[in-house]
């Protein structure tokens, strides 16, 4: 894993783009890896929805997030980028968060400059952000706490004014952030993202949501981004498929003519690793043969 994390960091620092998708648990992470993505990002929006059944408002704790992310790291062989929200407090809390998640084996962490507890900018009408001085202090603390320079620190700013976002991005990059991440509602065109990239001097981390999904080409994204993530496609796909199939089951009490196909049991058993564990059982468990 260390070699993989080093390659991930070097790829981004060299100016290439790593494409990723958002996972909300270990199974979705395995499916993202199987699809061919070179990294997996844990999505706080998805973790809150799937594990609590509640909105992304930092209702879960650092340790609850860490528990899910640790399982994701264990389940895949590609680098994992962790959504670590606000760091769960002040700069001292950020330092503990970095140590815990780095120990779990993540390749990168995303810290945002919202007040804690945060609100998801996808849905919140109003977002409060910390002062630029506090935001810089938290990124500096994260840089100080990491054990390896290959563990990337991504500074997200939730500023919605372009000028303020650029100012904050520059300050966070100067504090040591390896990438800067804007929120999608701040910029409205590719030229704005270019201005941000040129101003901060480090690659951008882009969550491909809203207008970024519909208006940008992959070539444009790769021009400015070191990390490009589709954060919610897995969650929304699973939700749509489950809603349709379960609705049919509740009405028809039959699996015939389900709206969406289901994975055959033998195929799923192979994907999830039954064969490997059965081989381990045969080797080590007394009386298993």
Give the integer Cα–Cα distance in Å for 115 and 133: 13
- Dihedral (Cα; 20, 207, 189, 12), 10-degree rounding: -50
Strand partners, 180: 155, 204
Helices 62-75, 91-104: crossing angle, 10 deg rounding:
20
Give the integer Cα–Cα distance in Å for 153 and 109: 5
Give the integer Cα–Cα distance in Å for 217 and 151: 28
Exposure on the CB side of residue 97, measured as CA atoms within 13 A: 28
Catalytic residue among 73, 120, 136, 177: 120
Burial class (CB in 10 A: 0-12, 13-18, 19+), 160: middle
Give the integer Cα–Cα distance in Å for 60 and 235: 18
Give the integer Cα–Cα distance in Å for 108 and 226: 12
Give the integer Cα–Cα distance in Å for 184 and 172: 18
* 186: annotated active-site residue: no
The residues annotated with a catalytic role in the active site are 120
């Amino acid at each position: 894993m260390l070699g993989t994390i080093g390659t991930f960091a070097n790829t981004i620092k060299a100016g290439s783009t790593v494409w990723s998708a958002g996972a909300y648990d270990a199974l979705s992470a395995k499916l993202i890896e199987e699809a061919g993505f070179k990294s997996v990002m844990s999505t706080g929006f998805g973790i809150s929805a799937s594990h609590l059944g509640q909105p992304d408002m930092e209702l879960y704790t650092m340790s609850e997030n860490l528990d899910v992310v640790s399982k994701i790291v264990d389940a895949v062989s590609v680098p994992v980028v962790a959504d670590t929200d606000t760091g769960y407090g002040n700069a001292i809390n950020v330092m503990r968060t970095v140590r815990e998640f780095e120990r779990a084996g993540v390749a990168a962490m995303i810290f945002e400059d919202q007040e804690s507890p945060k609100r998801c900018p996808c849905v919140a009408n109003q977002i409060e952000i910390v002062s630029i001085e506090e935001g810089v202090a938290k990124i500096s603390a994260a840089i100080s706490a990491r054990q390896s320079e290959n563990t990337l620190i991504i500074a997200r700013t939730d500023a919605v004014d372009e000028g303020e976002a650029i100012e904050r991005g520059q300050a966070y990059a100067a504090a040591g952030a390896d990438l800067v991440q804007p929120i999608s509602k701040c910029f409205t065109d590719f030229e704005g993202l270019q201005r941000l990239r040129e101003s901060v001097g480090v690659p951008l981390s882009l969550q491909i949501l809203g207008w970024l999904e519909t208006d940008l080409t992959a070539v444009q994204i790769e021009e400015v981004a070191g990390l490009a993530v589709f954060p919610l496609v897995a969650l929304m796909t699973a939700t749509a498929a489950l809603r349709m199939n379960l609705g049919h089951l509740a009405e028809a009490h039959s699996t015939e003519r389900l709206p969406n196909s289901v994975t055959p049991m033998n195929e799923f058993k192979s994907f999830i690793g039954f064969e490997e564990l059965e081989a381990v059982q045969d080797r080590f468990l007394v009386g298993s043969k």
